[in-house]
Amino acid sequence: MNKLSEGVSAIMGKKALQIWIVIVILMLPFSGKVKAKESPFELSGQAAILMEQSSGRVLYAENEHERLKIASITKIMTAILAIESGRLDEVVTISKRAEGTEGSSIYLVAGEKIPLRDLVYGLMLRSGNDAAMAIAEYVGGSVEGFVFMMNEKAEEIGMTNTRFYNPHGLDTHEDHLSSAYDMAKLTQYAMANETYRMIAGTKDYRAKGDHPRIFHNKNKLLTEKYRYSTGGKTGYTKLAKRTLVSTASKDGLDLIVVTLNDPNDWDDHMNLFNWGFKEYTLETLVSEGKLDVRTDDFYDGRLRASHTLVFPLTKEEKKIIQAKFTLLTPSHTEQWTDAQLQDPVGRMSFLLNNAAVASTALYFEKEEREPPPSFWKRIRQIFGHISGVTAND
């Protein structure tokens, strides 16, 4: 690491020490809002996005914030809410309303009993609209109650261009809309859940209940087309056209692709994945724990990062990433209390082209001192000193 400059500046009305360090090594990732690269090929869809999963960095985007119809990729939200309910092993009795749902179906029959878990598999693998309605009624108390939950979760995740009106994505309301970016954010959230990852990445599943069924996943990227595929969700309605969310992993890099109204979605997804895997590698920016960096005499060797930061970088970006330390001006007249040491003393930020892309809180490592010797240990030390014999504890 090469230290370029040091300075003191005011931060939010408080004095703070700022230290800038340029890092020219191959282990530096970041996250944040930086301009996505242009892909070297034409895409067929109306909107598209390529996102790195762990950081949420957008690697490629086209009309990613445009509000469009999304069809059955809506069911990603339905699935994660069912999973988070903690009721997957409970048994659901199918209603007449769920049985009569139009469109793609797992052919539920009113009155039959089936585990909620199996309904989620039928929802994700076979895109069962009847499964979506049965899940909504059971988890939400009613379809309307479940839709309220969907929109609350969307707000929590930060899906600012999304509004759900049903649990399946059928064109029942003209304002049932989302964006490629929002659906990527939803997928990023869902993929953090182990159960969701397992279900979305399942090729075939045998359901139990009153009417045993076998579900074969409709996602051809997962079942036959793309070796690095880890899951996703297909969608289609006459108004939305083809929509697709897919995930893939290679060499530790996890990617998400979303396309809306894309007649050539299988190929577009594979092309985006291949391009992303070629251009980017996932790097460790800073590891959780004690930092081995020079900042200022007071803080040298005494700073600890609160968590590990990783992020995808191109080869060119690795050469220009910068690290910046912003630290509270230390008190040289007072000892910090244990309570004060629970709070951050500063921040380590990373910049790319002057844009902050990631940061982690920094904490002060309290100096560990040996406890004072016990009374009898002091007596033995004195005796050893007088007699010339070293006390051995």
Task: Find out whether 37 is annotated in a ligand binding site.
Answer: no
H or E element at residue 347 = strand 346-352
Q: Distance between alpha carbon 68 and the CA centroid of its chain, in Å?
A: 23
Residue linked to tokens 């996602």: 219
The span from the CA of 63 to the CA of 43, in Å, is 12
Exactly one of 39, 54, 72, 104 is catalytic; name it: 72
- Which is the catalytic residue, given 127, 179, 246, 359? 127
Cα–Cα distance measured from residue 248 to residue 243, given in angstroms and rounded to the nearest whole number: 17
Does the annotation mark 127 as catalytic? yes
Q: CA angle, 54 as apex, 267 and 121 as ends, to 5°?
A: 65
Joined together, the tokens standing for residue 12 give 């939010």
Of 246, 317, 305, nearest to 280 by C-alpha is 317
Reading across the β-sheet that carries 241-250, which strands appear in turn? 58-62, 47-52, 253-260, 241-250, 229-237
Q: Is 72 a catalytic residue?
A: yes
Q: Are 150 and 135 in contact (CB under 8 A)?
A: no
| C-alpha span between 366 and 17 (Å, rounded) | 19
> Vertex 30, ends 189 and 281: CA angle to 5°?
85
Q: Among candidates 2, 150, 172, 139, which has minimal Cα distance to 71?
A: 172
Catalytic residue among 31, 55, 75, 359: 75
In the chain, % helix, strand, coil (3-state, to 5) comes to 30, 30, 40
Q: What are phi and psi of 115, to 5 degrees?
A: -60, 145
- Collect all residues with Cβ–Cβ distance below 8 Å to 141 and sequence separation of at least 6: none
CB hemisphere CA count around 287 (13 angstroms) = 6
Name the binding residues for substrate: 233
Give the residue numbers marked as catalytic. 72, 75, 127
